[in-house]
Amino acid sequence: MGTRVVVTGLGAITPLGHDVSTTWDNLINGRSGAGRITSFDPSPYAIQIACEVKNFEPTKYIEPRDARRMDRCTQFAIVAAQQAIADANLAIDDSNRTDIGVYIGTAVGGIRTLLEQQKVLDEKGPNRVNPLFPAVMIPDTPAGQIAINWGIKGPNMAVVSACATGAHALGEAWETIRRGDARVMLSGGTEAAILPVVLAGFINMKVLATDNEHPEKAAKPWDLNRDGFVMAEGSVIMVLEELEHALQRGANIYCEIVGYGATNDGFHLAAPSADGEGEARAIRIALKKAGMQPQEVQCWNPHGSATALADKYETTLAKEIWGDYAYKLPINSTKSMLGHMMGGAGAVESMTCILAIRDSVIHPTINIETPDPECDLDYVPNVARHTKVDVALCSNMGLGGHNSAIIFRRYDG
């Protein structure tokens, strides 16, 4: 099985809260983070809603001079990392810096900074472009800034795989500890891409939920009337740790990571493969690494994006993997409330799996009002379910055909 890896710290900044506990409380209570976009005037756009991180003031957490040199996605990651390190009670100093690594994923990186500097170029000329612009914009900056901020000198990289990014970052961090290249990893995802050009692109792809009048009801995975996801932003960062290292320092252990799978559809840039074949393979790989049978999974948080094809395909693959047990397996969608955080999605959804194990509660999938006959499984509709969860699975799909699956298990001591 190799080195055992546990989760010892969590940090989050999301549209439902600036910390883990607030976010989790809102998710359990079925609250939506969606609303009319406030960061720019959305009036010219056919879709005008998103799940924004509200009232975020970076200088509350970061020195003003440093905050000005960070894109919003990096600011989110720094804040989430602060929380995760504090939650893990992890001291970082000369005795352990080289044993700690950072894998932080983002689908698009500092696109806000890119657009701002393009405007400077257009209006003021090339000599006025910020000389730090390339370093602020690139997707590896959140990982790099976290390392710089805490003097971390172990493995460090950005994982970029569209909407599978967050879970891929966690899985690759798990593998890094298992093979002995680090004893502790800070890992997760971050995104801040609620911007006019991104909104316009997704509108034209016809993948966004359209209910401007009732944003909190717009995302409705597995409902017959689903018509897409709601864009979101935010970050979730975790501390992953070699079990022996965690025990030696008396760390609080949330759970153990026991399996991880990564595949590609090799099919289409934007559409998932028929019947979710690629995602199904990722789940099977994760189960094999965990040494588990499918029926040992007690909660599944899939992509759940509320797009017509993905929801149908995930229902089909559930029946293929779990057989009759698929009808007994609780399945929930974090995106129904938090929206689609893109590069951060797999991380925040993994966090909900971990907290389901800790608290014995599965958050609901909200807005299921008219069940789709083709989506006939148990999607934990509208109300949280209090039940013991020992094993939880998170899986994601991403543009480009990327698939990820990661399995969390209650730590048995």
Q: Are residues 110 and 30 in the same domain?
A: yes
- Give the domain-ending residue among 187, 222, 248: 248
Q: Is the full-model pTM beyond 0.85? A: yes
Of 390, 342, 376, 349, nearest to 27 by C-alpha is: 349
- Measured between alpha carbons, how far is 261 from 282 in angstroms, rounded to an integer? 4
If you average pLDDT over residues 9-22, what whole number do you get?
98
Q: Is residue 68 part of a domain?
A: yes
- Measured between alpha carbons, how far is 298 from 288 in angstroms, rounded to an integer? 16
Amino acid at 298: Q
If you average pLDDT over residues 87-97, what whole number do you get?
97
Q: Is 386 a catalytic residue?
A: no
Cβ-in-10-Å burial (0-12, 13-18, 19+) of 360 comes to: middle
CA 341 to chain centre: 6
Q: Are residues 344 and 404 in the same domain?
A: yes
- Give the domain-ending residue among 248, 283, 301: 248
Query: Which residues, 6+ apart, have CB-to-CB distance to 79 below 8 Å?
Result: 11, 13, 18, 58, 61, 62, 235
Range of the domain at 104: 5-248
Q: Are residues 115 and 224 in the same domain?
A: yes
Q: Is residue 214 part of a domain?
A: yes
pLDDT at 129: 95
Of 333, 395, 326, nearest to 364 by C-alpha is: 333
The catalytically annotated residue of 18, 168, 245, 303 is 303
Q: Are residues 266 and 361 in the same domain?
A: yes
**362-397 b/e (C-beta count within 10 Å ≥ 16 → b):** bbbbbbbeeebeebebbbbbeebbeeebebbbbbbb
Please state which of the ranges 188-202, 210-224, 267-281 shows the lowest mean pLDDT.
267-281
Q: Is residue 253 part of a domain?
A: no
Q: Band the pLDDT of 265: cuts 50, 70, 90.
A: confident
Mean pLDDT of all residues belonging to the chain: 96
- Measured between alpha carbons, how far is 214 from 11 in angstroms, rounded to an integer? 30
Q: Band the pLDDT of 8: cuts 50, 70, 90.
A: very high
pLDDT tens track for 323-342: 999 999 999 999 999 999 99
Please give the DSSP secondary-structure letter assigned to residue 90.
Answer: -
Q: Are residues 180 and 85 in the same domain?
A: yes
Q: Is residue 254 part of a domain?
A: no
Q: Are residues 9 and 152 in the same domain?
A: yes
Q: Are residues 304 and 227 in the same domain?
A: no
Q: Are residues 171 and 47 in the same domain?
A: yes
If you average pLDDT over residues 27-42, what whole number do you get?
98
> Is residue 275 scored above 90 in pLDDT?
no
Q: Are residues 379 and 265 in the same domain?
A: yes
Q: Are residues 339 and 275 in the same domain?
A: yes
> Is residue 272 scored above 80 in pLDDT?
no
Q: Are residues 239 and 135 in the same domain?
A: yes
CATH classification at residue 178: 3.40.47.10
Place of tokens 């970050």: 235
Q: Is 394 a catalytic residue?
A: no
The catalytically annotated residue of 168, 245, 340, 402 is 340
Based on the structure, what is the number of domains in the chain?
A: 2
* Torsion, Cα of 90, 244, 412, 257 (10° steps): 70
If you average pLDDT over residues 201-206, what whole number do you get?
96
- Give the domain-ending residue among 248, 275, 309: 248
Q: Are residues 242 and 267 in the same domain?
A: no
The catalytically annotated residue of 51, 163, 353, 375 is 163
Kindly report the length of the chain. Answer: 413
Strand stretches in 213-366, DSSP E: 234-242, 255-264, 299-301, 361-362
Q: Is 51 a catalytic residue?
A: no
